[in-house]
Amino acid sequence: MTATVAPVDQALTDEAVRHLRALIRLDTTNPPGAEDAAARYIADTCREAGIEAEVVGGAPGRGNVAARLRAASPLARPLMLTGHTDVVSVEHDRWTVDPFGGELRDGYVWGRGALDMKSQVAAELAVLLRLKRDGVALDRDITLVAFADEEAGGEWGASWVWNHRRDLLDAEYAINEGGGEAIRLGGQTFYLCQAGEKGTARLRLTARAAPGHASIPRDDTAMRRLGEALVRLHGWEPPTILTGPVRQLLATVGPSLDGDGPVAVERILAEPSPRWADIAALGFDDDTRSLLRATTRNTAVPTIVHGGHRINVIPSEVVLDVDGRILPGEDPDVWRDQVQAVVGDGIEVELLSRDAGIAADPASPLFDAIAATIDALDPGARVAPYLVSGGTDAANLPGIKVYGFFPFPPSERVGEYTPLVHGHDERIAVADLAFATRFLHDLVRRFCGA
Ligand SMILES: [Zn+2]
């Protein structure tokens, strides 16, 4: 399947490819990060083109970069193009190319960060340079802010900049990572735009009972209590909750579903307590169904067990850490109480984190501009908002309406990308980088052109 999309802007593509290859060659594996090299590369490139830029940070080597293309007389707060310059580590012997070589081969740029997310940062840089070169008149400033430390929580990145240099984050809107993949339903293309993300409400479950010598079995042990709690947790079906972005996703794609799908969607949207089984039956592909399952409920996934010291001692305490993710608008304390009710009173349940999720309004002028820009590049395609199950830097930018969107047109390639993010042989097709860069350029001109 090949989409009929607007022709490539070769000069813009070449510029994005060049910067992507250069950024991949600067090893910013986090930890330790060492994002300074990437931050300085972006700042130097901007300054050479006459765009103001500065590198800021709170720890040696952990630079964040902020560049600004100014409007002569701004009428609104800036549009921020954002992202992160750090990458996750590689297992060298599992790669068929040098992960920090930035190779261009077989129509792909290869290397750690090619997808997550030096590609988008390179595209944002290419767009800023092009707007400057073309002398485009703007009605608001365009900022490019590339953070350090996203992959390890953002202490030296987005959250540091927010706490120490909030003047750099004066944007009304931001375009970030996290969305842009296209799905096909009933012959219609939908680009998914991230308009919110779940929060983390992680839990620690502690089971306690009398210790003893393991040569004498006991009926009630901490191990047994924890085991039963695990089984109950796995068997639990939390209630289905439809947040704003998911409601609009269903409303947008509903009419393109097969059979009685369109009617079923209307029924689900009218239902005060919708059932997951009805959503699961809508005929989405497996990936979309899994995404919907994770983003229409709070989730509790056990990930770490601590307990026991000696093989001949029944331990008095066993601890289970649970990765809890809650929907925007959900109360972490209520969530804790729900989990307590599921595992029973014999287990202590403690909240380890309480980050509320976030949801940007999908009915904004920027969202409309995103949809109009996509329609111009891929005629007839539509944009549907969605919620992501994980977290990005958006959570560290309260007050900015953040959309995750870096669109790739539908192709067999895009399905291959998911395992490459944080995986081996990460790479991006030049054709996809070209489309996404062109999109960003056209979006910025449409939304900020005076
Ligand atoms: Zn990322």
Can you tell me the distance from the alpha carbon of 366 to that of 175, in angstroms, rounded to the nearest whole number? 10
**Burial of 130 (C-beta count, 10 Å sphere; 0-12/13-18/19+):** buried
C-alpha 219 to ligand 1 mean position (Å): 48
Amino acid 369: pLDDT: 97
Amino acid 3: pLDDT: 47
Q: pTM to 2 decimals?
A: 0.88
Q: Which two tokens stand for residue 298?
A: 């709070």
C-alpha 116 to ligand 1 mean position (Å): 5
Can you tell me the distance from the alpha carbon of 186 to that of 199, in angstroms, rounded to the nearest whole number? 33
Amino acid 153: pLDDT: 82
C-alpha 84 to ligand 1 mean position (Å): 7
Beta-ladder partners of 182? 191
Residue 105 has pLDDT above 70, yes or no: yes
C-alpha 283 to ligand 1 mean position (Å): 30
Output the CA angle 367-372-374, nearest 5 degrees: 95
C-alpha 374 to ligand 1 mean position (Å): 23
CB neighbours of residue 231 within 10 Å:
11
Q: Chain-centre distance of CA 211, in angstroms?
A: 44
Class of domain 199-351: alpha beta
The CATH classification of domain 10-185+357-448, taken from the options 3.40.630.10, 3.40.50.300, 3.30.300.30, 3.40.50.10610: 3.40.630.10
pLDDT tens-place string over residues 75-104: 999 999 999 999 999 999 999 999 999 999
Residue 283 has pLDDT above 80, yes or no: yes
- Where do the domains of the chain lie? 10-185+357-448, 199-351
319 close to 205: Cβ distance less than 8 angstroms: yes
Amino acid 132: pLDDT: 97
pLDDT tens-place string over residues 210-261: 999 999 999 999 999 999 999 999 999 999 999 999 999 999 999 999 899 9
Domain 10-185+357-448 and domain 199-351, same fold? Reply is no
pLDDT tens-place string over residues 109-168: 999 999 999 999 999 999 999 999 999 999 999 999 999 999 998 899 999 999 999 999
| Residue 2: band (very low, low, confident or very high) from pLDDT cuts 50, 70, 90 | very low
pLDDT tens-place string over residues 387-400: 988 877 888 888 89
Spatial CA neighbour of 391 closest among 171, 105, 199, 169:
199
pLDDT tens-place string over residues 42-67: 999 999 999 999 999 999 999 999 99
C-alpha 345 to ligand 1 mean position (Å): 39
Higher pLDDT, 418 or 198: 198
Beta-ladder partners of 65? 55, 146
Amino acid 391: pLDDT: 78
Amino acid 4: pLDDT: 56
| Residue 5: band (very low, low, confident or very high) from pLDDT cuts 50, 70, 90 | low
C-alpha 268 to ligand 1 mean position (Å): 33
pLDDT tens-place string over residues 293-349: 999 999 999 999 999 999 999 999 999 999 999 999 999 999 999 999 999 999 999
DSSP state at residue 57: -
- CA torsion angle for 412, 414, 415, 419 (degrees, to 10)? 140
C-alpha 113 to ligand 1 mean position (Å): 8
pLDDT tens-place string over residues 344-372: 999 999 999 988 888 877 789 999 999 99
C-alpha 86 to ligand 1 mean position (Å): 8
Place of tokens 């992959």: 151
User: What are the residues whose beta carbon lies below 5 Å from ligand 1 (ion)?
Assistant: 116-117, 177
Amino acid 1: pLDDT: 42
- Helices and strands: H and E segment counts in the chain: 13, 20
Spatial CA neighbour of 20 closest among 124, 92, 145, 94:
124
C-alpha 383 to ligand 1 mean position (Å): 21
